[in-house]
């Protein structure tokens, strides 16, 4: 007989506990609502928001809202290996990927930017290259001006 998979549950970013299939029983009571039996205690749950890719859920349980993140055995292994901290580290320095000429700066200091947003256009080998934000943040400083030549790895923009 295969042992049930244990999930690590993180509630509201701080409370941590493990749960397996033997601890929990649930029955749907309607669209997005369930009755949950956990260790002999009953709860009414309503699903408010889901992000399946991040394994993140917002629930209302017995009238109180909770933010819940699930971690399966692979997520737990990655955490134990210390790789999740590296993957979630913010990239703050945007550097030139190649030598070129700054054609256009599309952001200003203090501006909020989101992942994938165009920051500037760099011309290299007669091609225009759009330099995009690697993550969400706020532009702390801009180290180049329109028309500036830059070398590879030249600091272009700093994000907070």
Higher pLDDT, 67 or 54: 67
DSSP string, the chain: -PPPPPEEEEETTTEEEEE-TTTEEEEEEETTEEEEEETTEEEEEEEEEEETTTTEEEEEETTEEEEEEEE-HHHHHHHHTTHHHHHHPPP-EEE-SSSEEEEEE---TT-EE-TT-EEEEEEETTEEEEEE-SSSEEEEEE---TT-EE-TT-EEEEE-
Fold of 93-159: OB fold (Dihydrolipoamide Acetyltransferase, E2P) (2.40.50)
Domain limits of the chain?
Answer: 7-88, 93-159
Q: What is the pLDDT of residues 100-148, one digit of tens each?
A: 999 999 999 999 999 889 999 999 888 888 999 988 889 999 999 999 9
Mean pLDDT of the chain: 84
Q: What is the pLDDT of residues 58-75, one digit of tens each?
A: 999 999 999 988 887 787
Higher pLDDT, 54 or 61: 61
With cut-offs at 50, 70 and 90, classify the pLDDT of residue 28: very high
């Amino acid at each position: 007989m295969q042992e049930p998979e244990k999930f690590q549950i993180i509630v509201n970013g701080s409370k941590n506990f493990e749960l397996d299939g033997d601890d929990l029983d649930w029955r749907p009571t309607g669209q997005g609502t369930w009755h949950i039996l956990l260790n002999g205690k009953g709860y009414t749950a309503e699903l408010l928001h889901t992000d399946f890719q991040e394994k993140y859920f917002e629930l209302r349980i017995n009238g109180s809202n909770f933010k819940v993140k699930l971690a399966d055995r692979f997520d737990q292994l990655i955490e134990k290996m210390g790789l999740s901290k590296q993957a979630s580290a913010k990239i703050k320095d945007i550097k030139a990927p190649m030598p070129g000429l700054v054609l256009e700066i599309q952001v200003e200091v203090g501006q909020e930017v989101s992942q994938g947003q165009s920051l500037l256009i760099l011309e290299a080998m007669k091609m225009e290259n759009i330099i995009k934000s690697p993550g969400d943040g706020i532009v702390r400083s801009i180290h180049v001006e329109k028309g500036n030549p830059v070398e590879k790895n030249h600091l272009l923009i700093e994000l907070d």
